[in-house]
Amino acid sequence: MARYDNYTNKEMQAVTIARQIKNDQIVIVGTGLPLIGASVAKRAFAPECQIIVESGLMDCSPIEVPRSVGDNRFMAQCAVQWPNVRFIGFEACEWLHNKERMIAFIGGAQIDPYGNVNSTVIGDYNNPKTRFTGSGGANGIASYVNTVIMMQHEKRRFMEKIDYITSPGWMDGPGGRTRAGIPENVGPQMVVTDRGILKFDEETKKMYLAGYYPTSSPEDVLENTGFDIDVSRAVLLEAPDESVIKLIREEIDPGEAFIKVPVEE
């Protein structure tokens, strides 16, 4: 008989994402864990949320997790198939009308204490050690939409100073976004990692540990963060329900495209 109490940190991360999504929200996602999290939210926690992707597909409800934002599994279960430019216009319209119903999930290779994300290069821009795919739609999203950032929690990713700012967070602290010429009333809301949830202090805009998983601890987070971080406000997060883990493994990602199921001994 299959077990569902042996959840992995990636499954916990996906469920944590799902718990952040509210019923009335429009959720911008890509593929991978954010999409699994949004799919869990739509099936289990927030059935009235609307999933959209940057390829222009609106109000998606995929039966099984797609492999890309142009996957037919997205197209077959969406309300509207717009060209990409209309998606961008929709995103801008939400901001211009001061709507707060939209939230987006982005990721990257590096992040700093203020939530600035690098998904462009490691090392010097003109002579990098590694060059990544870059922004895609992430810069525009991070500039004009409230975001949740997805990261694997390692010292080499959580850095005091990142090599390049692809997607703006709170820049250099209070007033930083205004000085950079981008809206101050939106920005990163939290970082969801494989160790816990990190949020941003209202006054300083610096990251702090808000919650940690049953498989982690504040000490574990400190050890794996490359800058000083406040852990005094951290609480233990609830483990995922077995029915939700079953939903992920049997319906959302049965092919283990993004989350591998532990091998039973």
Catalytic annotation present for 184: no
In a domain, 258, yes or no: no
DSSP SS3 for 16: helix
40 domain-assigned = yes
Q: Which residues of the chain fall short of a pLDDT of 50? A: none
Q: Which residues, 6+ apart, have CB-to-CB distance to 138 below 8 Å?
A: 106, 108, 117, 119, 166, 167
Kindly report the CATH number assigned to the domain that includes residue 230: 3.40.1080.10
Specify the pLDDT at position 176.
98
Nearest to 47 by CA among 24, 17, 77: 24
How many other C-beta atoms are found inside a 10 Å radius of the C-beta of residue 81?
12
**Residue 227, token pair as written in the block:** 């800058």
Please check whether residue 257 lies inside any domain of the structure.
no
Residue 160 is predicted with a pLDDT of: 97
**Of residues 265, 245, 236, the one with CA closest to residue 10:** 245
Domain membership of residue 75 (yes or no) is yes
Looking at residue 56, its pLDDT comes to 86
What is the predicted pLDDT for the residue at 265? 64
Query: Domain range holding 132?
Result: 9-252
Task: Give the number of domains in the chain.
Answer: 1
Is residue 264 in a domain? no
Amino acid identity, position 235: V
The tokens describing 172, both together, are 């250099």
231 belongs to a structural domain: yes
pLDDT 10s digits, 61-76: 887 888 888 788 888 8
Q: Which of 54, 100, 251, 264 is catalytic?
A: 54
- The percent of residues in the chain predicted with pLDDT above 90, rounded, is 72
Structural domain contains residue 245: yes
Is there a domain that residue 184 lies in? yes
